[in-house]
Amino acid sequence: MAGKEIEKLIKAVAKLPALGTRSARRIVLQLLKKRDTQLLPLIEALQDVADNIKTCPICGNFDTEEPCSICTSSSRDGKTLCVVQDVADLWAMERVGFYKGKYHVLGGVLSALEGVTPEDLNLASLPQRIANEQIEEVILALPATVDGQITTHYILSKIKDSGVKVTTLAQGIPVGAELDYMDDGTIQLALSSRKNL
Amino acid sequence: MAGKEIEKLIKAVAKLPALGTRSARRIVLQLLKKRDTQLLPLIEALQDVADNIKTCPICGNFDTEEPCSICTSSSRDGKTLCVVQDVADLWAMERVGFYKGKYHVLGGVLSALEGVTPEDLNLASLPQRIANEQIEEVILALPATVDGQITTHYILSKIKDSGVKVTTLAQGIPVGAELDYMDDGTIQLALSSRKNL
CA distance to A24, A55, B105, B156, B157, per residue, from B153 (Å): 32, 58, 16, 5, 6
Q: State the burial class of residue B92 (Cβ atoms within 10 Å of its Cβ: 0-12, 13-18, 19+).
A: middle
Give backbone dihedrals phi and psi of A116, rounded to 5 degrees, phi first.
-90, 115
Asked if B41's CB is within 8 angstroms of A31's CB, the reply is no
Note the pLDDT tens digit of each residue in B70-90: 999 999 999 999 999 999 999
pLDDT of res. A2: 67
> Mean pLDDT throughout B93-109?
93
- CA B54/CA A103 separation, integer angstroms: 47
pLDDT value at residue A1: 54
What pLDDT shows up at residue A135?
95
Chain B's closest residue to A31, CA to CA, is B16
Chain B residue with minimum CA distance to A96: B1
Q: Which residues contact residue B99 at a Cβ distance below 8 angstroms, ignoring those fewer than 6 apart?
A: B82, B93
Q: Is B100 on the interface with A (CB under 8 A)?
A: no
Concatenated DSSP letters of B130-191:
HHHTT--EEEE---SSHHHHHHHHHHHHHHGGGT-EEEE---SPPTT--GGGS-HHHHHHHH
C-alpha to C-alpha distance for A133 and A44, rounded to whole angstroms = 38
Residues of A in contact with B3 (CB under 8 A): 52-53, 62-64
Longest dimension (CA), chain A: 68
* CATH architecture observed for domain A4-52: Orthogonal Bundle (1.10)
Mean pLDDT of chain B: 92
CB proximity A87 to B under 8 Å: yes
* Cα–Cα distance, A85 to A56 (Å, whole number): 15
* Cα B109 from Cα A45, distance rounded (Å): 32
Closest partner residue to A64 among B3, B19, B49, by Cβ?
B3
Chain B hits for A63, Cβ within 8 Å: 3
3-state secondary structure A103-135: EEECCCCCECCCCECHHHCCCCHHHHHHHHCCC
Which pLDDT belongs to residue A131? 93
Q: Distance (Å) from the C-alpha of residue A193 to the closest C-alpha of chain B?
A: 32
Residue A189: per-residue pLDDT: 85
Note the pLDDT tens digit of each residue in B18-75: 899 999 999 999 999 999 999 999 999 999 999 999 999 999 999 998 899 999 999 9
Domain with CATH 1.10.8 in chain B: 4-52
| Residue A49 touches partner B, C-beta closer than 8 Å | yes
Q: Which residues contact B10 (CB under 8 A, 6 or more apart)?
A: B2, B21, B24, B25, B28
Query: Which of A2, A91, A95 lies at the smallest CB-CB distance from B62?
Result: A2
Say how far apart CA A180 and CA B147 lie, in whole Å: 45
B23–A contact, CB cutoff 8 A: yes
Task: Return the axis-axis angle of helices A146-159 and A125-132, rounded to nearest 10°.
Answer: 50
CATH 3.40.1360.10 domain extents, chain B: 76-196
**Contact B27/A at CB under 8 A:** yes
Looking at the complex, does the CB of residue A59 fall below 8 Å from at least one CB of chain B? no
End-to-end alpha carbon distance in chain A:
68
Structure confidence at residue B55 (pLDDT)? 93
A-B contacts (CB, under 8 Å): 139
What confidence category does residue B1 fall into, taking pLDDT thresholds of 50, 70 and 90? low
Flag if B91 and A1 touch (Cβ within 8 Å): yes
Rounded CA-CA distance A155/A142 in Å is: 11
- The parts of chain A modelled with pLDDT lower than 70 are 1-2
The tens digit of pLDDT for each residue in A140-175 reads 999 989 999 999 999 999 998 888 999 999 888 888
**Cα–Cα nearest to B155, from B19, B164, A107:** B164
Q: Testing the interface with A: which of B11, B49, B86 to mutate, by most A Cβ within 10 A?
A: B49
Interface test with A, best of B42, B106, B121 (most A CBs within 10 A): B42
Give the pLDDT score at A180: 85
What is the CATH number that goes with domain B76-196? 3.40.1360.10
Contact by Cβ (8 Å): A59, A49 = no
Residues of B in contact with A46 (CB under 8 A): 9, 31, 39, 42-43, 46
Could you tell me the sign of the dihedral formed by the alpha carbons of A155, A171, A85, A91, in that order?
Answer: negative
DSSP conformation class of B35: I
CA–CA separation, B12 and B148 (whole Å): 30
- Distance of alpha carbon A168 from alpha carbon A173, whole angstroms: 16
